[in-house]
Chains A and B, each alone.
Chain A
Amino acid sequence: MGLPTLFLAATGLGLLAGGVAVVAAAFGLAPVAITKAVAVLVAGLAGLVLTGRWWKRADEAVREAHKSSWYWGGSTGLLVAGSIAVALASVAFGGGGDQFGLSPAEAGLVVFGVAMTVALMLLGYGLFWAIWWLRRGR
């Protein structure tokens, strides 16, 4: 299965999951927020499985480029996100965000979003790092 086919399959599954979510919400089977979240989760997991097939076939230099980009690009992105979150945390807990058009409550929500994203990323990273070593340590 080539990359364009994988992309089309992932897009198709995403549309299907979105369609099911719309129908489920229309029939009142679950709140819209839940059906949307489940649709994104299902489509995302399907995309991960499909692109995982591409990842296993990718040659070593292609993988190395992505690993390096994830490390440097991802770490830099986290650093910037973290510094923004720290700045917003001082607004959330200390006030004084009027000049930015931000209320402490809004700043707090952004800080929570950043913290949750970073925590989940680190959790996923730690989990797969441990699995990698456990598989190679025996």
Chain B
Amino acid sequence: MKNRLKVLRAERDWSQADLAERLEVSRQTINALETGKYDPSLPLAFRIARLFGQPIEAIFDGGQA
């Protein structure tokens, strides 16, 4: 799934490790999310949305239903 995680992180000048710490996940997880190789669970997606203050659909592109 495509997402804007890398852009949002870069806007805040955070490293992957910074974001990982804020979300309480590993840096490898952040890397997998940013490259679209891993889709987050619903709770993690909500945590990401809350952290960036944006709705989930503004961060993740779920594609056509």
Please tell me if A61 contacts chain B, counting CB pairs below 8 Å. yes
Residues of B contacting A: mostly: loop
What chain A residues lie within 8 Å of B24 (beta carbons)?
59
What chain B residues lie within 8 Å of A61 (beta carbons)?
25-26, 28-29, 32-33, 38
Give the distance to chain A from B7, nearest Cβ to Cβ, in Å.
20
Interface of chain B residues 26 through 48 with chain A (CB within 8 A) = 26, 28-29, 32-33, 38, 40-41, 44
- Residues of B within 8 A of A (CB-CB), count: 11
A-B contact pairs, 19 of them (CB 8 A): A59-B24, A59-B26, A59-B29, A60-B25, A60-B29, A60-B40, A60-B41, A60-B44, A61-B25, A61-B26, A61-B28, A61-B29, A61-B32, A61-B33, A61-B38, A62-B26, A62-B28, A62-B29, A64-B38
Interface residues, chain B, with chain A CB atoms under 8 Å away: 24-26, 28-29, 32-33, 38, 40-41, 44
